[in-house]
Amino acid sequence: MTVQQTSVGFQDSASAQLWDRDHSLISFNERVFSWACRDDVPVLERLRYLCIVSSNLDEFFEVRSEPHLTAARSGDKRGSFSVKSFQRLSESLHHLVERQYAHYNDVLLPALQAKGIRLISHGERNAEQRRWVKQYFEREVRPLLIPVGLDPAHPFPQVANKALNFIVRLGGDDAFGRSNEIAIVKVPRVLPRIIRMPDALAGGGAVFVALTSVIRAHLAELFAGRSVGQFSQFRVTRHSDLAVDEDDVQNLRMALRQGLVHRHYGEAVRLEVSASCSAHLAQFLLKQFDLPELALYRVHGPVNLVRLTQMIDLLERPELCFPAYKAPAPVQMDLSANLFEQLRRGDMVFHQPFESFEGVLLFLRAAVHDPQVLAIKQTIYRAGADSTIMDLLREAVRRGKEVTVVVEIKARFDEEANINWAEMLESIGAQVVYGVVGLKTHAKMLLVTRREGKQLKRYGHLSTGNYNPRTASLYTDISHLTADAALTQDMENVFVHLASQSKLAPLKKMWMAPFHLHKQLIKKIGQLGAAAASGQSTRLVAKMNSLTDHALIAAMLEAAQCGVQIDLIVRGACMLPAQVPGLSERIRVRSIIGRFLEHSRVFYFRVGTQDELYLSSADWMNRNMVRRIELAWPVSDPAQRQRLIDECLLAYMHDGLDAWEMQPDGSYLAVRGQAPHSGHSAQTALMARYALHSAEQAKE
C-alpha cells in the first residue's frame, strides 16, 4: 500500500517549534478525504466523506481564513498571519480542492455509474430527458429567477454567503439600447441542488441532474433579445464569525439576533467559479469582492460539493452504504427497574453511539414524569432545531417542576436555533440563563433534584458531548449518570454560579474552566514529570479533538523529557511536535478517522500503581481553558474506569486500520497495512461488541 502523508507548517513558540494550527486543520481534512479514497468503504459513503471535507473547508474559510487574508492585503505581519502565511495556506487549500474534484470526476462518478447511478450533464441527456428538464425548468425554476443586468441604476447585487449564482456576459443591446454586458442570476436556496429524473427516463438505475446544469442549459431564455456569451456559476464564502461586544450591549440575545442578519454578508474570503470561467469574468468578480488571485478557486464540477448529499438522500441503496447499526440500550441500565433506584446503587456510564442516546432521554423522561422530582437544571450548547430534549423540558414546566436552562446562544452556527429555544422556554415559564458575559458555556450537565422522604436527593448527567440526538448517533461521546453526593453538589454549585454570577463555591471533585481546569491539568502533568524524574513508572494518555494550548504543550514536552510516556489521541488540529529526537521521543500522537466522528475527551494519569481518569467537555485549547465554562470530572468506580480505559484509550492506541500517526516532520502516516499493525479497527470492534450485547438482550 502506498504510504499516505500530509504536511503542516511551522510556527515560532517560546518553548519549542510548534506546528501551525491552520495547516494542522488542513492536514486533518486530508485524513478525512482519505476515506473517500478507500476501496473498502461503500461508494455512497465515500461520496459522503467527500462532502464532509467540503463542509469542513467551508467552515474553515468562514472562521479561520480572514486574519491571513487581512494580513496579505495590508502587507503587514500580524502575529502568525502574514502575506507568506496566506500564500502557504492558499497553496495547501488549492492542492486539497484540486484532489477533491479530480477524485470526484475520475473515481467516484465512474464508480457510481458502475452501480447504475448517473449524474448527467446537458450534453449527455437524450431528447426525451432534455424535454423533461425543460419542463422542470419552466415549472419549478424559472419563476424564481430574477436576472439582474448591471448598470449605474442596478449595481452589483448583494450576494449571500455560500449562495449559488451565475454571472453572464451578454452581447447586443438591452431594451433601452444600452450595451451593459454583465448580468447576475441569483439562485434561491429553496431550490434543490440535485434533482432525480423519473425512473421511466432513467433507462434502468437512477439518473440525476444538477440544478446548475438545468439553469446553464436555459440561460439564454432568461435574456430575451440578447446573446449569451461567457458565463459561469460562482459562489462566494464570507467571514462568518459573529463579533458582539458583550460589555457594550444591553441585551445579548437581541444583539446576536441582529448579528445573524448580517452574517450572510460578511467580508468575502473565497471565490469559487467553474473551471471554464473566462479570465474576464473571474477578474470582474475578484474586483467586486476585493479578493486577490489566490482567493479564486476554479472547480471542475459543482461549486458546492456539500449539496451532493442530497443525491445520497434520494437513493434507497442500503447496499452502497455502511451496514445499518442499531445501538442497544445502555448495558448498565435495566429498562424494567426504577432508574433512580438503580443510580442509588451506583453510577452508570454510556459509550455513544455504540450504546443508545436513549439512555439520556430515559433519564430526563423519568425526571419529567416522576411526581417526586421538584427541579431540573440543564445546560444547552447544541440541541438542534428539532429537539426531543426541549420537548421534555417543556413538559416538565407544564407539570409544575422548576426548570432552569443555561442556553449558550453564542454556539457557533447554532445561535439562531438556541435563541429560538430560549425564547420558547422563557415564554412558558422556565428560568433561562445565558451564562457568563465573555465566556461560552460549553459544559454539558443535567441535574435533577428529587424529594425522597424528608430529604432532597440529587441525580446528575455529565457528558463529553451535546444534548443532540442526531449527532449522538454520529459522534463518539461518554455519558455519565451519577447520584454521587459530592459530584452532584459540585454540579449544583456550578449552576448557582452561572445563574447568579456569584463567587463559585469550592468544588470537591470537579475541575472547572476558567478557574481550575487549566491549572489542575498543568499540575497533574508536572506531578507525572516529578515522579518520573524520581524513577517512578508514569503514564499520561489523553484523548481529545484538538491540542493547541501552548502551556499544556510545554508541560507535556517537559514531562516527556523527565521520562513520562505520553500517548495522545487527537482527532483534529495538533500543534505538539511528536517523536522529535531530543525533544519528544516519548510522545506519540495518533489521529483516528472512522465511521463515527471521534468526540469524547478522556484524560488518564498514572504514577506507579495509582491511576486517575477524568472525563471532560474540554479540548486542550486556550479558548477552552480561559474563554469557556468547561468541566472535567473523575470516574471513581474502578470497573467503570477500566472499561473506559479499554474502550476509549487502549482500543484506539492499538487501532491498525483507521489510525494515523504523527511523524517527526509533522506529517501523518496511515498505519493501515503497516507492520506490526493487524488491521484492527476500534470503532468496528466496539460496534461488534455492543451488537452482540444487543442480540443477547433480544434473547432474554
At 468 the pLDDT is 87
The burial class, CB within 10 Å (0-12 / 13-18 / 19+), for 379 is buried
Of these residues, 23, 239, 351, 442, which one is catalytic? 442
At 551 the pLDDT is 96
- β-strand partners of 93: none
Are 483 and 605 members of one domain? Answer: no
Going from the C-alpha of 593 to that of each of 91, 474, 655, 684, the distances in angstroms are 24, 13, 11, 12
**The domain containing residue 671 runs over which residues?**
513-699
Give the ranges where 372-431 is alpha helix by DSSP (H). Answer: 388-398, 415-427
What is the C-alpha to C-alpha distance for residues 578 and 547, in angstroms, rounded to an integer? 12
- 431 — pLDDT class (breaks 50, 70, 90): confident
What is the Cα gyration radius of the chain? 27
Would residue 12 count as lying in a domain?
no
User: What is the SS3 string spanning 615-652?
Assistant: EECCCECHHHHHCEEEEEEECCCHHHHHHHHHHHHHHH
Are 290 and 170 members of one domain? Answer: yes
At 469 the pLDDT is 86
Q: What is the pLDDT of residues 528-565, one digit of tens each?
A: 999 999 999 999 999 999 999 999 999 999 999 999 99
Going from the C-alpha of 507 to that of each of 456, 492, 503, 611, the distances in angstroms are 20, 10, 12, 21
- 417 — pLDDT class (breaks 50, 70, 90): low
What is the C-alpha to C-alpha distance for residues 552 and 517, in angstroms, rounded to an integer? 11
* β pairing state of 117-119 and 455-463: unpaired
Contacts of 5 (CB under 8 A, 6+ apart): 663, 667, 668, 669
- Residue 458, pLDDT above cutoff 70: yes
> Which of 99-103, 165-169, 239-243 has the least mean pLDDT?
239-243
Are 493 and 600 members of one domain? Answer: no
Cα dihedral across residues 568, 574, 575, 580: positive or negative: positive
The last residue of one of the domains, among 492, 508, 524, is 508
Which runs of E-coded beta strand occur in 46-146? 117-119
> Is 0.75 surpassed by the pTM of this model?
yes
Cis amide prior to 353 (ω within 30 degrees): yes
- Residue 248, pLDDT above cutoff 80: no
Would residue 26 count as lying in a domain?
no
The burial class, CB within 10 Å (0-12 / 13-18 / 19+), for 153 is exposed
At 667 the pLDDT is 94
Q: CB count, 10 Å around CB of 378?
A: 26
Q: Read off the pLDDT of each residue in 86-108 and give the average, rounded to a whole number.
A: 96
* β pairing state of 565-570 and 538-544: parallel
For 684: left if phi > 0, alpha if psi spans -120 to 50, otherwise beta; the answer is alpha
User: What DSSP designation does 154 have?
Assistant: B
What is the C-alpha to C-alpha distance for residues 496 and 505, in angstroms, rounded to an integer? 9
- Residue 463, pLDDT above cutoff 70: yes
- Residue 247, pLDDT above cutoff 70: no
At 595 the pLDDT is 96
- Residue 699, pLDDT above cutoff 70: no
What is the C-alpha to C-alpha distance for residues 184 and 168, in angstroms, rounded to an integer? 6
Are 114 and 175 members of one domain? Answer: yes
At 151 the pLDDT is 77
User: What is the SS3 string spanning 502-529?
Assistant: CCCCCCCCCEEECCCHHHHHHHHHHHHH
- 12 — pLDDT class (breaks 50, 70, 90): very low
What is the C-alpha to C-alpha distance for residues 215 and 396, in angstroms, rounded to an integer? 50
User: What DSSP designation does 249 have?
Assistant: -
Q: Which 3 state secondary structure label does DSSP give 106? A: helix
- β-strand partners of 380: 407
Angle ∠(351,356,360) on CA atoms, nearest 5: 85
Q: What is the DSSP string of 8-41?
A: --EE--SSS-EEPHHHHHHHHHHHHHHHHT-TTS
What total of structural domains would you count in the chain?
3
- β-strand partners of 585: none
The last residue of one of the domains, among 320, 354, 369, is 320
- 6 — pLDDT class (breaks 50, 70, 90): very low
Would residue 455 count as lying in a domain?
yes
Q: Read off the pLDDT of each residue in 501-517 and give the average, rounded to a whole number.
A: 94
At 698 the pLDDT is 62
Would residue 557 count as lying in a domain?
yes
Are 386 and 407 members of one domain? Answer: yes
Q: Which residues of 400-432 are buried (b: 16+ CB within 10 A; e: fewer)?
A: ebebbbbbbbbbeebbebbbebbeebeeeebeb
At 4 the pLDDT is 37
- 216 — pLDDT class (breaks 50, 70, 90): very high
Q: Read off the pLDDT of each residue in 174-179 and give the average, rounded to a whole number.
A: 67
At 154 the pLDDT is 72
Going from the C-alpha of 532 to that of each of 196, 383, 528, 556, 598, the distances in angstroms are 63, 43, 6, 12, 30
What is the C-alpha to C-alpha distance for residues 414 and 182, in angstroms, rounded to an integer? 37
Going from the C-alpha of 211 to that of each of 119, 253, 274, 296, 636, the distances in angstroms are 11, 37, 14, 22, 56
Q: Considering only CA atoms, which of 281, 185, 294, 296 is closest in space to residue 237?
A: 296
Q: Which residues of 437-446 are buried (b: 16+ CB within 10 A; e: fewer)?
A: eebbbbbbbb
Are 479 and 553 members of one domain? Answer: no
Q: What is the pLDDT of residues 122-176, one digit of tens each?
A: 999 999 999 999 999 999 999 999 898 887 667 888 899 999 999 999 987 676 6
Contact 574, 568 (CB under 8 A): yes
> Which of 44-48, 67-71, 72-76, 584-588 has the least mean pLDDT?
72-76
- Please provide the average confidence, as pLDDT, over all residues in the chain: 89
Percent of the chain at pLDDT > 70 equals 89
Are 496 and 543 members of one domain? Answer: no
Going from the C-alpha of 523 to that of each of 243, 520, 544, 547, 621, the distances in angstroms are 34, 5, 19, 17, 16
Are 316 and 461 members of one domain? Answer: no
> Which of 300-314, 523-537, 682-696 has the least mean pLDDT?
682-696
Are 309 and 186 members of one domain? Answer: yes
Would residue 420 count as lying in a domain?
yes
What is the C-alpha to C-alpha distance for residues 607 and 586, in angstroms, rounded to an integer? 16
Q: What is the pLDDT of residues 604-619, one digit of tens each?
A: 999 999 999 999 999 9
- 256 — pLDDT class (breaks 50, 70, 90): very low
Are 305 and 448 members of one domain? Answer: no
Contact 476, 649 (CB under 8 A): no
Would residue 46 count as lying in a domain?
no
Are 617 and 488 members of one domain? Answer: no
- 415 — pLDDT class (breaks 50, 70, 90): low
Are 243 and 118 members of one domain? Answer: yes
- Residue 680, pLDDT above cutoff 90: no
- 419 — pLDDT class (breaks 50, 70, 90): confident
Say whether 94 is catalytic. no
Which tops the pLDDT comparison, 251 or 659? 659
Q: Which 3 state secondary structure label does DSSP give 284? A: helix
The last residue of one of the domains, among 480, 508, 536, is 508
CATH of the domain at 190: 3.30.1840.10
What is the C-alpha to C-alpha distance for residues 236 and 286, in angstroms, rounded to an integer? 10
Would residue 51 count as lying in a domain?
no
Would residue 142 count as lying in a domain?
yes
At 385 the pLDDT is 61
CATH of the domain at 589: 3.30.870.10
